[in-house]
């Protein structure tokens, strides 16, 4: 059975970037453009992994992360953070979840696939 990856990304170009990189893999790709929509998708689909942009409309990525990790039903979903800013800008997110993987945009397809595989096995 195919693993589900929820990509929380409001920029159309970056979402296309992800889908192109993941084309031909066995992953099912889901998309949400903001935190509210992401929670709806998580409840409906229960993804195996989340790729999260930190700069979102309506709810910042770190606020989304805090809310997700506070819910025992979803707290164990692995998260890959993808941001144009360096991880030093977001030190507090690692306090929420020290197991986060942080990838600074842009990154390579090889790196994305390696990080997904590391989280999903």
Q: What is the pLDDT of residue 60?
A: 76
How far the first Cα of the chain sits from its last, in Å, is 14
d(CA 100, CA 119) in angstroms, rounded, equals: 10
Residue 15 in tokens: 């979402």
Kindly report, residue by residue over 21-40, the tens digit of the pLDDT.
999 999 999 999 988 899 99
The domain of 93 spans 4-120
d(CA 39, CA 67) in angstroms, rounded, equals: 9
Mean pLDDT of 105-120: 94
Number of structural domains, the chain? 1
Q: How confident is the model at residue 119 (pLDDT cuts 50, 70, 90)?
A: very high
CATH of the domain at 87: 3.40.50.2300
Is 93's pLDDT higher than 90?
no
């Amino acid at each position: 059975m195919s693993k589900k990856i929820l990509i929380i990304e409001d920029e159309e170009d970056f979402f296309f970037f992800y889908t192109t990189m993941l084309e031909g893999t066995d992953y099912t790709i889901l998309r949400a453009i903001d935190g509210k929509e992401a929670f709806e998708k998580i409840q409906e689909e229960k993804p195996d992994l989340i790729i999260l942009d930190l700069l979102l409309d309506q709810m910042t990525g770190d606020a989304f992360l805090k809310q997700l990790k506070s819910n025992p039903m979803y707290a164990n979903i692995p998260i890959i953070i993808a941001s144009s800013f360096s991880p030093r800008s977001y030190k507090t997110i690692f306090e929420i979840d020290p197991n986060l993987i942080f990838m600074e945009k842009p990154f390579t397809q090889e790196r994305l696939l390696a990080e997904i595989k590391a989280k999903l096995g």
